[in-house]
């Protein structure tokens, strides 16, 4: 409810409008131009009402010291400034608070991009085999797939549900689930996961986990839960508010009693407003995430960033985590004294020239880089997990020249 009201009354366009009215108030007060009303009133209405609503909501529904927040202190200062007629000060503290909230939302939205991308990978339909004839297929929505249904997954298609392969061999791109940059060879009896991509062969699978029980949906829920957790430093102003609010009120009262000047008492409240804290934390987090992205490091949330400051040891469990996932040939070893390294490379590249496997592509690319002549293998067959079989038939001869 708080967020919906805040989005409706403020948001980026409305906050910018509040800032414009605040500038107008400052300019007109300095030039002596008289208006029917002070433009700072508009800033107070746009930025101050959601702030006041937030302070009241927390005071009613939160428990213990959580009832006292930075929003409460700023609301008190805003109302006090209005009471003495300093509308510019009231609009200023409310505007700064909203700028901090916008920066915080921008950081959160940036983190949610990964989640949106993950959700977009959720399959929408699957190819179910019907009847006793394996050739009879029907495309159905994934929410209609039931456990133990037999599904066919063709090359290039996304696995619609978790299942067990009952026929065929293939290589599956599981990077979305495991982070592994290379496809994993799969055969009969092995498990495949929802959202992974079938790269090569056609396979039939028996559905084992469907709907919300699938691995992809569990991963999405796990990421959603992680996104809801804010960085401990993200609300540092609220943490300090439990003692900051009473201290500010006490000092303001003492100042008013001693000086007999209400303006000075209100000034204490305005100065005590944690505007710097409200702006500093989300701004620092945004800057850190943006700078890391420039160097190819993706930080999913402010919480993850803060925890990294306490890390002293990092363990990586996959090669793909530390590399670009782009395979390259490093060395060529010939175990046949009669074959040079160039001949080994030429034969291997020719055999792999029609392969779609990342290893095969890397070999062919290396051969082209070294300007090695690649011959057309003619007949080509790939067997998942075992390699390729290529034969180049010689003219007028029935005996194939085979490379396995």
Rounded to whole angstroms, the Cα distance separating 50 from 369 reads 63
Q: Are 185 and 150 in contact (CB under 8 A)?
A: no
From the candidates 148, 317, 331, 336, which is the catalytic residue?
A: 317
Rounded to whole angstroms, the Cα distance separating 404 from 399 reads 15
Q: Is 302 left (phi over 0), alpha (psi -120 to 50) or beta?
A: alpha
What are residue 380's DSSP bridge partners? 390
Rounded to whole angstroms, the Cα distance separating 120 from 109 reads 16
- Tokens representing 367 are 């051969």
Cα-based torsion angle of the residue sequence 226, 230, 233, 237 in order, rounded to the nearest 10 degrees: -170
Q: Please name the residue that has the structure tokens 């967020």.
A: 3
* HSE-up (13 A, CA, CB side) for residue 42: 16
Query: Is residue 317 among the annotated active site residues?
Result: yes
- Using DSSP's 3-state secondary structure scheme, residue 8 falls into helix
Catalytic machinery residues:
317
């Amino acid at each position: 409810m708080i967020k919906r009201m805040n989005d409706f009354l403020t948001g980026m366009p409305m906050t910018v409008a509040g800032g414009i009215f605040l500038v107008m108030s400052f300019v007109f007060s300095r030039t002596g131009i008289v208006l029917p009303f002070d433009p700072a009133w508009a800033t107070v209405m746009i930025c101050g009402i959601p702030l006041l609503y937030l302070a009241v909501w927390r005071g009613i529904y939160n428990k213990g010291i959580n009832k006292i927040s930075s929003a409460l202190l700023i609301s008190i200062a805003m109302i006090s400034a209005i009471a003495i007629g300093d509308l510019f000060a009231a609009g200023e503290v409310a505007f700064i608070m909203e700028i901090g909230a916008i920066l915080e939302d921008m950081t959160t939205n940036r983190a949610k991009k990964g989640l949106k991308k993950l959700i977009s990978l959720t399959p929408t339909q699957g190819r179910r085999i019907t009847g006793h004839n394996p050739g009879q297929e029907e495309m159905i929505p994934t929410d209609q797939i039931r456990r133990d249904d037999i599904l066919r997954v063709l090359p290039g298609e996304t696995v619609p549900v978790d299942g067990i392969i009952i026929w065929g061999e293939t290589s599956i791109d599981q990077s979305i689930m495991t982070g592994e940059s290379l496809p994993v060879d799969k055969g009969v009896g092995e498990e495949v996961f929802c959202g992974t991509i079938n790269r090569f062969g056609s396979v039939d699978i028996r559905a084992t986990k469907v709907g919300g029980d699938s691995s992809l949906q569990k991963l999405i829920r796990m990421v959603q839960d992680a996104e809801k957790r804010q960085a401990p430093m993200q609300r540092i102003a609220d943490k300090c508010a439990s003692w900051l609010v009473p201290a500010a009120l006490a000092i303001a009262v003492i100042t008013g009693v001693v000086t007999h000047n209400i303006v000075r008492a209100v000034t204490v409240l305005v100065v005590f407003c944690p505007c710097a804290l409200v702006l500093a934390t989300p701004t620092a987090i945004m800057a850190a995430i943006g700078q890391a992205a420039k160097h190819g490091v993706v930080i999913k949330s402010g919480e993850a960033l803060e925890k990294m400051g306490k890390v002293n040891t990092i363990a990586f469990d996959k090669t793909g985590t530390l590399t670009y996932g782009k395979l390259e040939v490093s060395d060529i070893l010939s175990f046949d004294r009669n074959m040079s390294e160039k001949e080994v490379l030429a034969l291997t590249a020719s055999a792999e020239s029609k392969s779609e496997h990342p290893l095969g592509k890397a070999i062919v690319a290396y051969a082209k880089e070294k300007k090695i002549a690649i011959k057309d293998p003619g007949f080509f067959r790939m067997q998942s997990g075992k390699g390729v079989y290529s034969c180049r038939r010689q003219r007028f001869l029935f005996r194939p020249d085979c490379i396995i």
